[in-house]
A = this chain, B = another copy of it.
Amino acid sequence: MKPIKPLDAAWLYVDTRETPMQVGCLAIFSLPPKAGPAFLKKQVETFRSTREFVYPFNLRLKAPRLRFLLPAWEEDRQIDLDYHFRHSALPQPGGERELGILVSRLHSNAMDFNRPLWECHLIEGLQHRRFALYMKMHHSLVDGISGMRMLARILSPDPNSRTQLPPWAVGARQKTKTREPLASPWQAALDGMRVQLKTVPGVTRAFGDIVREAVRQEEKDWALPFSGPRSAFNGKISGQRRFATQHYSLARVRRIAKAADVTVNDVFLEICAGSMRRYLGEMHALPSKPLTAGVPVSVRPADDQSAGNAISFIIANLNTNIADPLQRLRAIHDSAQAAKLHLQQLPKADMDNYTALFMAPFMAQLLSGLGGHLRPMFNLTVSNVPGPDQTLYFNGARMEQMYPVSLLAHGQALNITAVSYAGQFNVGFTGCREALPSMQRLSVYAGEALDELEQVLGIGAPAETATAD
């Protein structure tokens, strides 16, 4: 038996029918040259006969019904592989649309808390000689970034290698030490959660105090928590998800960033902003105040003597009230820069507190528990995760794209996460089915927002990537 760390256990506390706390990864592969249907059949057989389960695939909850009081993992020595590994197929015509629909459904289904909290789906019937792998894990076991890394670990850069094993036989590295919160308010909030989920006002007030104290700032560019408008993305959510994807060449995004003298992340935020402005405008639901995004960033605290950077959060102003794309991009850049600067001026202890609270999985839940009387902490999460640089293969099958499939919470009906992979910028849109009708349009508009930036900057797509994309 192994107690679950409070930060990991928190994902179990807030897992409900409406907010299953699971993260996913979708990878699309091409069959190796000359491979026929026998290739997939063989992979399925290998998957079914691989019964070695390494960390964290071998862990299950010790007492699922008591997970609030006694969160602990134990090793499951009798794993029912046929439950976890699932062979699926797409109906005709087997395009990206059918794949998106299937992944939406699979990602909406709750997991069985009596078993190790993961599923692996091998999906056949994808047109143009392709197949897909969709992995789903509970966030208490792995976070989205680690999930991506885990996928990369099972693959090989060598197209001739044929020794790749299914994910559960490769596993993840043991979790690197989570940044544990240092100060007591966080622990008090967590203890409060555990004892009584209903004591919302107290916890919320504590959170507000800490954030206000931690950021202690006056400048205008920094988007304050709770300063974003109410929007279609910030109500209670239901358990059904939509999922859509887009992929661009990274060279295009970089070229735009260079031409506009901003970062790749700024360009990403801009195309999200442009897309949302148009999508909400069509729904006659664009708030007059600009939307804000919670964005994970890499920073170094003012008094940190250690070598590495730390991951923290900023709230960026998406400037969705600005119609001009270039002006919007510059405004987003300014907002993100100001937020990062402020964050970097914080002492390490304050930043740790601040970060822990932003990452607290249940805060959004708690806030929405107030019945929508509060403004959202921020309107949506936009995140950009570095992925593998090299082209990777699974037993000779080239991975064409990989996409994150994210989780949502009450008050956060949309998550946009990008991952870079072998010269590509792959974007996964995860939304609540009710809050985001026709969410596909949001992803299409993001692509068109990228085109638009190239146009206003007077640069075309580089020739070498126009074909690759």
Residues of A within 8 A of B (CB): 17, 37, 40-41, 44, 80, 83, 86-92, 98, 105, 109-110, 112-114, 124-125, 238-240, 433-434
Contact = CB atoms under 8 A, between A and B. Distances in A.
B88 A91 contact: yes
Nearest to A98: B87
A280 B112 CA distance: 26
A54 to B, nearest CB: 23
A236 to B, nearest CB: 10
Contact of A37 (B92, B98, B109): B92
A110 B112 contact: no
Contacts of A88: 89, 91
Given A83-B433, A86-B105, 4 more contacts: A37-B92, A87-B91, A88-B91, A109-B109
A77 to B, nearest CB: 15
A88 B106 CA distance: 12
Assembly stoichiometry (copies): 2
A433 B89 contact: no
A108 to B, nearest CB: 8
A317 to B, nearest CB: 33
Contacts of A433: 80, 83
A129 B263 CA distance: 55
B89 A17 contact: no
Contacts of A87: 91, 98
Contact of A238 (B112, B124, B238, B434): B112
A88 B240 CA distance: 17
Q: Of residues A41, A91, A98, A105, which shows the largest number of chain B Cβ atoms within 10 Å of its Cβ?
A: A91
A89 B86 contact: no
Contacts of A41: 92
A89 B112 CA distance: 24
A197 to B, nearest CB: 15
A60 to B, nearest CB: 12
Nearest to A105: B86
Nearest to A123: B91
A350 to B, nearest CB: 39
6 contacts: A40-B92, A83-B240, A89-B92, A89-B125, A91-B124, A91-B125
A124 B125 CA distance: 12
A348 B5 CA distance: 60
A418 to B, nearest CB: 26
Contacts of A113: 17
B239 A112 contact: yes
Q: Which 3 pairs show the lowest CB-CB distances between chains A and B?
A: A89-B89, A89-B91, A87-B91
A380 to B, nearest CB: 22
Contacts of A17: 110, 112-113
A79 to B, nearest CB: 12
A434 B78 CA distance: 11
Contacts of A44: 91
Q: Of residues A109, A112, A239, which shows the largest number of chain B Cβ atoms within 10 Å of its Cβ?
A: A112
A114 B434 CA distance: 10
Nearest to A17: B110
A284 B32 CA distance: 47
A110 to B, nearest CB: 6
Contacts of A110: 17, 109-110
Contacts of A80: 433
A244 to B, nearest CB: 14
A48 to B, nearest CB: 12
